[in-house]
Structure 1
């Protein structure tokens, strides 16, 4: 996209990058946000208690980003901090070990601008990284997610954290939850017939490596507590089956 066309596009989206000891990936992540075909309102990088080179990597970008260092040791609290700092009409959360396709914001923001009733726009993803880990998890190179259906979302989280959210409708993540915080946030945000939309093609890259594999200890118990105790879904047992079949693919 040339500079004239870029200047005609509104800077509506804030990108919040959260980082904990991912300095080795952070540069690629930030560069992917700077390379967007649509200009963004701001790029906020939050370094949560890292003891690697994350700070020096972030600061090397100077005033191209807004940098904050916190000591929360809590991913959801870090994201909520970014939410408070963001002033865009829309917000996209991005983990520092992942990165965006160059047209991610363009594609998602255009869908948002077409429909004021949309609360979330999400997409498929590319899976990259350690091939052995991907094979073990049953992951293909490309995932297209599912069309939006709230009744399915109750039992299967197919909306990634790397989605565009309408800022003024989103109250943040529950910092007390140990697992499924994003899933819980989507169910709360979209309750009552609110709208979300899928873009089928992948718009970001999810990196799989040894440090970001989810610990699955007590997963069945935690899924039960999430579905039955927290959200009251009597079909919670269905979620256990779906998690076993799809959890590694769409979680």
Structure 2
């Protein structure tokens, strides 16, 4: 009897990428080297690349028929690629991995074991690697709390995209929001938690690369899209905590976007509780001094 492809492939790994292949070879090799006793496929979803041959050449050099390469001519962001990959996938389970991250050899095995014990969706912490040192970022189990509280409160936890492992059945009701260029991991985590709930995997098997000195831009429109979508379901305290997180991002990551930071503060100041107002005031002062240093070349 001929087996259906669904019965052959148990796990589909989805990797969005562009023609910037730095780190991609390490990413793909970490998938191919997984110690898991089942068949799996890799869906490499290339989007918005200037040179399509770069990724093609890399795939050829790996000599693996497990890698299925798809190219999207028009792709607004990685969420489009993730949804497309899930649509094309044949596995019972879906795992996500960003192109510059990688896994330990037992990542898929530990995720699959969690699902065998009843989990429908799995997340974990990660190891942050900046090329010079590695820092372990442990998370915690989400308990009797909202996903908003889990992600934004004083005891906030992490749920990293490259750790997400879930049943494909979930994809029918929970897709990545293609309108979001930022906060998409928050959004997806929240939606899955509302639908079926997440299970925490304590072991760190995900490695996230964070390049030292790399310029990182923020998208204020995406933050506002997230806010408008979720604020009706958040308490005033959760709204304040989320806004505080965004202000920290502006202050710590994009100090050159001082004017955007100022507009953000003015627009949402009334939503901030007293504690977060104090925190933000401190960041505001930091930015003022930063601006003066730029002006006077101190």
By relative contact order (CA 8 Å, sep 6+), the higher-ranking structure is 1
Query: Which consecutive unaligned segments of at least 5 residues does structure 2 have?
Result: 1-7, 152-156, 253-298
After TM superposition, the score normalised by the length of structure 1 is 0.79
Aligned twin of 1:216: 218
Q: Is the 8 A contact 2:147 2:193 kept in 1?
A: no
Structure whose residues are more often strand by fraction: 1
Alignment of 1:23-38 (within 5 A): 23-38=21-36
Per-residue displacement from partner, 1:81-134 (whole Å, max 9, x unpaired)?
Answer: 10011111110111111111100000011001110xx33111221111344xx8
Q: 1:78 aligns with which of 81, 85, 109?
A: 81
Give the superposition deviation at 1:72: 2.6
Over 4 Å off, 4+ runs: 210-214, 221-225, 242-248
Aligned partners of 1:18, 1:225: CA distance in 2, in Å? 22
Contact residue 24 and residue 54 of structure 1 kept, 8 A: no
2:142 corresponds to 1:148: yes
Is 1:22 paired with 2:25? Answer: no
Question: What corresponds to 1:68 in structure 2?
Answer: 70
What are the ranges of 5 or more consecutive residues in structure 1 without an aligned counterpart?
Answer: 1-9, 135-139
Alpha-carbon RMSD across the aligned residues, in angstroms, is 2.8
The reply to whether residue 166 of structure 1 matches residue 167 of structure 2 is yes
- Counterpart of 1:238 (choices 236, 241, 256) is 241
Range with bigger deviation, 106-115 or 68-77? 68-77
**How far, CA to CA, are the matches of 2:203 and 2:92 in structure 1?**
23
Structure 1 Cα separation of the partners of residues 35 and 13 of structure 2: 14
**Is the contact between residue 127 and residue 143 of structure 1 (CA under 8 Å) also seen in structure 2?**
yes
Rounded Cα–Cα distance in structure 2 between residues aligned with 1:49 and 1:178: 14
Q: Which secondary structure does the structure 1 equivalent of 2:199 belong to? A: strand
What is the CA-CA distance between 1:236 and the residue it aligns to? 0.6
Question: What is the TM-score when the length of structure 2 is the normalising length?
Answer: 0.67
Give 1 or 2 for the bigger CA radius of gyration.
2
If each structure's helix is expressed as a fraction of its own residues, which one has the higher value?
A: 2
